[in-house]
Amino acid sequence: MPVELRSLVTQWGLDPVFSGPRLPTDLPSLAAFPAAAATGSVTLAERDGATFNIAGHTPFYDPASDLWYCDIPINYGLAYTPFIRLALARFQPDALADAQASRVVLADFLQLAPQRSATVVITKPKRIDSISVAGPTYRTASGISGPGVAFATVEVRDKTIADAAIGWRPAGPRMPMERTLLEQGYGLWSLMNVKLPAGQCRLIIEQYEQIEDDGRSGVSLLAVPGLRLIYSDVIPLVLAPPAPPA
């Protein structure tokens, strides 16, 4: 890509720490932004005679912070934690052809989290049949292979704390999940037959990468690789109602 265009377009790239599937395209295409409310081709004041693809997203107002924000889902295939730098502009598709887009502002570099999907199955009161988490995994440049480690923790509502957001306590120890490396670079973490306490419960899932310490602190490399949190979820548990009497 010409150097003069680098300040005008969105770019992405792989994290050199990890190996694995490549990004779908050298530069993000319109298909990388599946939630776009409007797409088109626009001219920019910074570059006469050139047209650029643009993916418009609907902004929303947050009265608590008095700021506008926008959620932008990004489809980056099976690449593991790539970096992206968004080129942002105000987009008005109904404006005159040469006034649809404002001048471009570059956002900071961001590292995208790996995609994860969690499934919890409950068919009986006071017991979870199964917990599973799946998603792309990794291999580091130093040879550490995924899928890393994951833990599940059951928490119960602590009614002595009025705040429903923080009024929770662990109902037991953090439970390690069994890990499996699947085909095409996918990882699976699972846990079966988890007993639940009485009361309102929720499930905390945490998944970590295993990465060697780089020794910059003056300490030699750890014998056991360190852990970096990359996925965390809080899942309210709706217990199955008791079976009706026969």
* Percent of the chain residues topping a pLDDT of 70: 90
Do 167 and 230 lie in one domain? The reply is yes
Residues 6+ apart with CB under 8 A from 222: 212, 213
Q: For strands 127-136 and 117-121, give the pairing.
A: antiparallel
Backbone angles phi, psi at 46, to 5 degrees: -75, -15
Do 132 and 228 lie in one domain? The reply is yes
CATH code for position 166 = 2.60.40
Do 67 and 176 lie in one domain? The reply is no
Examine residue 244 and state whether it is found in any structural domain, yes or no: no
pLDDT of residue 124: 85
Compute the Cα dihedral for 177, 180, 186, 192 and give only its sign. Answer: negative
Burial class (CB in 10 A: 0-12, 13-18, 19+), 80: buried
pTM of the entire predicted model: 0.78
Domain containing 230 equals: 117-236
Q: What confidence tier does 214 reach under pLDDT thresholds 50, 70, 90?
A: low
In the chain, the number of structural domains is 2
> DSSP string spanning 145-194?
BS--EEEEEEEEE-TTS--TTT-EEESS--EEPEEEE-GGGEEEEEEEEE
List residues bridging with 111 in a β-sheet: 83
Do 128 and 229 lie in one domain? The reply is yes
- Top pLDDT among 25 and 142 is at 25
User: Domain boundary residue among 81, 111, 141?
Assistant: 111
User: Domain boundary residue among 92, 111, 130?
Assistant: 111
pLDDT at 45 > cutoff 80 = yes
Model confidence over 72-127: pLDDT tens digits? Answer: 999 998 888 999 999 999 999 888 888 899 999 999 999 999 989 999 999 888 89
Do 18 and 62 lie in one domain? The reply is yes
